[in-house]
Chains A and B, each alone.
Chain A
């Protein structure tokens, strides 16, 4: 018995994506990334002087990410401000983005990335990373490459891509749902990988291949949004 998706998507089909850069005039770079009903907005400020001073690194610039869910982005209101979950996701996002950044020439500086989730329907960290990567490129921060994130998963025994909220947290049949957010560069370097659930090594190999294909798809959308912003200016 194969798993049938509630919204009629194919197993490896992503939700409709829209992406745009330059959405926050005050920021040095910004982007909004929507995947299905999940909406993330990101802004980049910097490179600017690192505060507090004791966190300055005289050998290179630093990346600092902040992930925050708006209180009304979920059905049960969450208290505004940081919590343990958002603290972890902020760090994970930093690790996902850091490998492609070239901040060697910005000693004592910080590049701040602020990610806010406007509307949540699972996959918020992936949407946040995708928005952040685009915002960094939009800000003109030197980068070797861009990164792209997708939430892969397994529903009972079936591999799927881009889980929605039902699949992520309400699906309980059989082996339940396994959630595997993955971030990688277009040339296949994984910069972020998490897993919650239960999956065999064989299936995990398969899902990584599926995720890589999906990332290519999302990468094209990110690239197009960045190109569009330049054409608009001319």
Chain B
């Protein structure tokens, strides 16, 4: 990480002073998300694609499908692969090269938010038991990182999956005809998983952090919820969190996520 890009102490102090007055750096409340803008169909060769803006944070998610073989322990189920790339285009902090830990974690956490919520009916992706299934690739690219890529990526991923259309499978030649969509979407659960990531700054818990807030965050907890249930969680960063704080954020997750759902309502139908 480049020293010159880190949030200076004076900004950190200002953020903390504001929090003591119950305010955020940009005027939001502690559990308010930024404005969410969603644009679908941004890459036409993808089976489904979406560009999501969370304030100034911007993420592009694409879904591709191809033929694969099932895993031996689930011969009648399709596969899901979620990868994330933190593009050097999206921030002066990211460099070229093989994915580093933050990109790997982002992909894996998003994978679990989708997978553990049973959002995708993997059985419906089976073409021939034990031999041939659909593999669904969800690829996440950051376009502008202004904090909270976790929640932006998860929202982007589920909406891209909702928009995906299965391509035609030519059984005779064992080929996918990408130009000829079946027009059919994926079999998805009505309960759409959404995540919220809490960050602990001093004595306060905030959601949807800006880049500066993320920089001074001591620890973070990502909670993926589907319906009323929590289906995945990940605590990140090395600082510890009190049991009380953990309970507090677990108990407020549903309310925060309900607000997020409301913001993106029309895309969840």
Residues of A whose CB lies within 8 Å of any CB of B are 24-27, 30, 37, 39, 41-43, 45, 48, 51, 66, 68, 70-77, 80-82, 112, 114-116, 118-121
Contact = CB atoms under 8 A, between A and B. Distances in A.
A114 B88 contact: yes
Interface stretch (B10-18, B60-68, B116-124, B190-198): B60-68
Given A26-B90, A80-B85, A118-B43, A70 B141 contact: yes
Interface residues of B, number: 35
Q: Is the interface of A mostly helix, strand, loop or mixed?
A: loop
Interface in B24-83: 42-47, 49, 56, 58, 60, 62-64, 66, 83
Given A25-B56, A26-B146, A80-B83, A73 B88 contact: no
Contact of B66 (A30, A70, A76): A76
B89 A71 contact: no
B105 to A, nearest CB: 16
B137 interface: yes
A41 B60 CA distance: 12
Contacts of A71: 62, 64, 83, 137, 139
A72 B138 CA distance: 9
Given A68-B87, A75-B178, A119 B66 contact: no
A98 B143 CA distance: 25
Contact of B60 (A27, A30, A51, A70): A70
Contacts of B91: 26
B58 to A, nearest CB: 8
Given A25-B56, A43-B89, A118-B43, 15 more contacts: A24-B89, A37-B44, A66-B96, A70-B141, A72-B43, A72-B49, A72-B64, A73-B46, A75-B178, A75-B179, A81-B98, A112-B88, A114-B87, A114-B88, A119-B43
A120 B45 contact: yes
B60 A118 contact: yes
B87 A73 contact: no
Nearest to A72: B62
A216 B143 CA distance: 30
B145 A26 contact: yes
B63 A72 contact: yes
B144 interface: yes
B146 A70 contact: no
A116 B89 contact: yes
Nearest to A75: B178
B45 A73 contact: yes
Contact of B143 (A24, A51, A72): A24
